Structure 1
Amino acid sequence: MTGADVYLAPDGSDDGDGSRERPFATLGKAASVVRPGQTIAMRGGTYRPAEGAAADPLTDFAERTVTGVVKPPRSIPSAPLSKARQPRTVFPAPEPNLTARPTPSASPTVAAARRTGAAIGVTGADVYLAPDGSDDGDGSRERPFATLGKAASVVRPGQTIAMRGGTYRPAEGAALITDGTAGRRITLSNYRGERPVIDASGLPGGTWAVTQEADNWTVQGLEIRGSASHAYVCRSCRNTVFRGLSLHDNAESGLTLRDAGTENNTVLDSDFYANGPGEAGGVGLAVKFGSGAGNTVRGCRAFDNGADGIDLGGFTTPVTVRSTWSYRNGNGFTLGGGHTSASVAHVLTDDAAWDNAGLGFNDEGNPGAIRLTRNTSYRNGTGFYLATAAAVLTSNAAVDSGDGPDTVLAESSRSEGNTWDGGNGASPVFTTTDPSTAEARRAADATLPRTSFLAPSGSAPGARMAPVGETS
């Protein structure tokens, strides 16, 4: 061999740059900076290391893919949302001073943060971003990176990326492809008290602002707007928590989770609005064109979207949707479709749909045993349009539907204690029909605003409009 990318020599120094003229002294140093496809050349002589050398877990691509650190490309089934994959980011070696920085103590869990009402965000991190940063920096608080793509290319399991407040205007989409683990999650968060905004309007047409193909992440406190395509797409993601997001004014969708292997994800306390205006329409939040158990949507709002607020079309495994509000969209909750007639028993509890031009709750050809308990449809075109589903409906309310009836139910459905059943299902007396408090700003901890809007009296049917864990 007559040439290499990284050089070592017995008389070299690890303070060098690994070039032919300034070679490193130890194999451990060379292994910490080498990238896939590169060559390390050891010059002749005797090396006397003081410690053993270990391959870097991020750059040892061929050997480490099975450990859950970095995934190989996934096979993606064809579906209407499909597009060519964005190029995978090749992992650069972390800057030495970045890896030497101590990892901060684990932040409270999302559940604990919600219980205490703590403001969303982190106060310490391993990798920092700032609108006035530079990707030639080292990602420290003093020399932050400028782009999410750069930060995502160096983050490792157990680490936290903090985005400082201000507006980011990326020239290319960001790819998140590094897996965390169950015990060493990766966190992407706003810095507490600050609001980072990704303005995706400068991206090329058809580019997704953020594409995630990684597991065991927590993503919170971000705003993404202006994409000519989708704002955030998570493909075959597992064990990811999305919290406190504001994804709006994008051409196609706010957040989309899709493809086989989409498992155990939670979308929590987030707003998805004004996506896909016009006849083509867009979607606020979609879990579609895929499968996987354990996915939950809770405490979210989807509003002013061109097509559906919440869209589960083409997802063939049950999704749980709880305490989520969908209003002023084309349709509120779409629970089937997506070019499939799969039988899927989605579970909806304490959800509310109001002022949607079309349907409040729509099975879209899904014949499954959809379970709807204590949900409210108010002033939609049609309240519950479940003409195909063998739905199980208990204690739901449908009031003041517009052009259509309150309900269209399949003969195979089971209905008990709803407003259209009589008895306990008599028309509820709502505390108020003024939606202003429900549509107000969220609290600092990103939970839903407290409201009496559409709150039923006593044991009357309909959604309990209180935050999860409280009573109305």
Structure 2
Amino acid sequence: MSRFILAVFATFGLFVFAGSRSHSATYFVAVDGDDSDAGSIEKPFATLMKAQESAEPGDTVFIRGGTYLVSESRVAKSTRWFAHVLRFDKSGRSAEPIRYWAYEDERPVFDFADVRPRNQRVHAFSVSGSWLHFRGIEVVGVQVTMRGHTQSICFSNEGDHNVFERLGMHDGMAIGFYATKGADNLIVNCDAYRNHDSVSEDGRGGNTDGFGYHPAKGGTGNVFRGCRAWFNSDDGFDCINASESVAFENCWAFNNGYSPEFKSLADGNGFKIGGFASAPASKLPRPMPRHLVKECLAVHNKNGGFYANHHPGGSDWINNVAYRNGTNFNMLCRTHDNSKDVPGYGHLLRGNVSHGSRGLIRNLNADKCELIDNSFQVERSLRDEDFASLDEQELLQPRQANGELPKIALLRLNVSGLIEDSVSRATEMDTTTSTQE
């Protein structure tokens, strides 16, 4: 009996040993690397795809600074309509993510200008794995080659429990970040700017948002936190056709719907929250998702700063600030069966500040919403002199060393007693974020 027990424990121990690793490994990728080398700091790999082959749960891939010119020959997966260029399909595990991080304070830039597959949508960083963490990467020059209704994407995600941190997605034709699948993903301290698809349809860039999450049923727990979107030809943040709730916390959207020369382009909403276009009632999700927009800032977007986008139900709008948008708060809804537009109902609006627009708030059925301590509820309207600063250039200040949003004076109230304290707190946004690492 004793020999049998010892044999069982010995076998069990063998399985445990075989299924776990005693330590995590570190790999390096560099512009002057070679995929035939070991991937060490002295002899780095040349490509992220080679690093992915070697990496296991718990490992870290450090990416050295410099510009990585990505060629069309690097497309990892090609289907009828899609070119997935850098395809991340290997997963980490809970508490053991695979990390793809910029090395120390260096900034790796991946330039996709030479990736122009005919009649395919380009997904530059295409993520289908789970428990992955991307940090400190820039993506530029992503192209559109199709003339009809289409879109290319800098970072696309299909996985769960992923973190996208301190990414810069700019100066291309593609959406910054986009997903229709996945749960419990965090997009934190990322910037998407100067993106305009001038090729497809009418050339106005009607599909080029800064950030979009449109989760299918079951895709819960997805959060944008501390992100900025500006000079994107369409919207800053968008969650149309989302079957689950999406949260936007402490994000900034400004100058969307314009080129950097302020030429009018596509829709230009700061935060387009919800909606299902003209979908029949049978196609709507049940229960209807209720989105959260909290401590966000919308400045000088062409159309709506905060826009309910015909959503057939309410959302939560808490401690947000809107300034100089076409309409600051547009709460337009549709009936529960999505058959016709109606003034907004079911919304919670608490502690919001609206200033500097002819449309401070529109399309709202106040009797069917919960309104608490918003600036548009007080008798005395806000004036320019009530704010510490109205200098919109502050929005472009560099991020703090830890990646958090810059601390700015823009739109902070400098008077007390004008409105409730909760409204004052709306302009003193907490830029603290967490990646739980």
The bucket for the TM-score relative to the shorter chain is 0.7 to 0.9
User: Equivalents in 1 of 2:139, 2:355: separation in Å?
Assistant: 35
Kindly provide the amino acid, as one letter, of the partner of residue 201 in structure 1: A
- Which of 403, 408, 428 is matched with 1:451 structurally? 408
Deviation of 1:336 (Å) = 1.5
Q: Which residue in the other structure is 1:415 paired with?
A: 371
Q: What does the per-residue CA deviation read over 1:45-88, in whole Å, with 9 as the maximum and x for residues that have no partner?
A: xxxxxxx999998xxxxxxxxxxx9xxxxxxxxxxxxxxxxxxx
- TM-score (structure 1 length as normaliser): 0.69
Q: Is the 8 A contact 2:407 2:431 kept in 1?
A: no
Deviation of 1:326 (Å) = 0.3
Q: Is the 8 A contact 1:395 1:418 kept in 2?
A: yes
User: Equivalents in 1 of 2:404, 2:221: separation in Å?
Assistant: 21
Q: What does the per-residue CA deviation read over 1:91-138, in whole Å, with 9 as the maximum and x for residues that have no partner?
A: xxxxxxxx99x636xxxxxxxxxxxxxxxxxxxxx1111111122222
- Which of 326, 329, 336 is matched with 1:381 structurally? 326
Q: Which residue in the other structure is 1:232 paired with?
A: 155
Pairs within 5 Å for 1:427-446: 427=382, 429-446=386-403
1:167 aligns with 2:90: no
Deviation of 1:407 (Å) = 2.6
1:208 aligns with 2:123: yes
Q: What does the per-residue CA deviation read over 1:390-412, in whole Å, with 9 as the maximum and x for residues that have no partner?
A: 2111111111215x453321453
Larger-Rg structure: 1
Deviation of 1:195 (Å) = 0.5
1:467 aligns with 2:430: yes
- Which of 156, 159, 178 is matched with 2:90 structurally? 178
Q: Is the 8 A contact 1:249 1:274 kept in 2?
A: yes
Which secondary structure state, in structure 2, belongs to the residue aligned with residue 219 of structure 1?
strand
Deviation of 1:469 (Å) = 5.0
Deviation of 1:417 (Å) = 1.7
Q: Which residue in the other structure is 2:7 paired with?
A: none
Q: Structure 1 regions of 5+ residues with no counterpart? A: 1-51, 58-68, 70-98, 105-125
- Which of 340, 343, 351 is matched with 2:296 structurally? 351
Deviation of 1:338 (Å) = 5.2
Q: Which residue in the other structure is 2:178 paired with?
A: 256
Q: Is the 8 A contact 1:179 1:215 kept in 2?
A: yes
Q: Which residue in the other structure is 1:335 paired with?
A: 273
Deviation of 1:238 (Å) = 1.2
Q: Which residue in the other structure is 1:297 paired with?
A: 224
Deviation of 1:383 (Å) = 0.9
User: Equivalents in 1 of 2:15, 2:391: separation in Å?
Assistant: 67
Deviation of 1:272 (Å) = 0.9
Pairs within 5 Å for 1:18-37: none
1:219 aligns with 2:134: yes
Q: Is the 8 A contact 1:162 1:188 kept in 2?
A: yes
Q: Is the 8 A contact 1:344 1:367 kept in 2?
A: no
Distance 1:56 1:410, change over 3 A: farther
Deviation of 1:461 (Å) = 2.2
Distance 1:469 1:145, change over 3 A: closer
Kindly provide the amino acid, as one letter, of the partner of residue 101 in structure 2: S
Kindly provide the amino acid, as one letter, of the partner of residue 452 in structure 1: A
Q: Which residue in the other structure is 1:276 paired with?
A: 196
| Equivalenced residues, count | 352
User: Equivalents in 2 of 1:410, 1:316: separation in Å?
Assistant: 24
Kindly provide the amino acid, as one letter, of the partner of residue 143 in structure 1: K
Q: Is the 8 A contact 1:418 1:426 kept in 2?
A: no
Kindly, what percent of the aligned residue pairs are identical? Answer: 27
1:142 aligns with 2:62: no
Q: Is the 8 A contact 1:397 1:427 kept in 2?
A: no
Q: Which residue in the other structure is 1:288 paired with?
A: 214
Q: Is the 8 A contact 1:256 1:285 kept in 2?
A: yes
User: Equivalents in 1 of 2:99, 2:410: separation in Å?
Assistant: 35
Q: What does the per-residue CA deviation read over 1:251-283, in whole Å, with 9 as the maximum and x for residues that have no partner?
A: 130111222xx2111111111111225513311
Q: Is the 8 A contact 2:255 2:302 kept in 1?
A: yes
Q: Is the 8 A contact 2:60 2:100 kept in 1?
A: yes
Q: List 4+ stretches of structure 1 deviating above 6 A.
A: 52-57
- Which of 311, 314, 336 is matched with 2:241 structurally? 314
Q: Which residue in the other structure is 1:108 paired with?
A: none
Kindly provide the amino acid, as one letter, of the partner of residue 333 in structure 1: F
RMSD after superposition? 2.6
Q: Which residue in the other structure is 2:107 paired with?
A: 195
Kindly provide the amino acid, as one letter, of the partner of residue 423 in structure 2: P
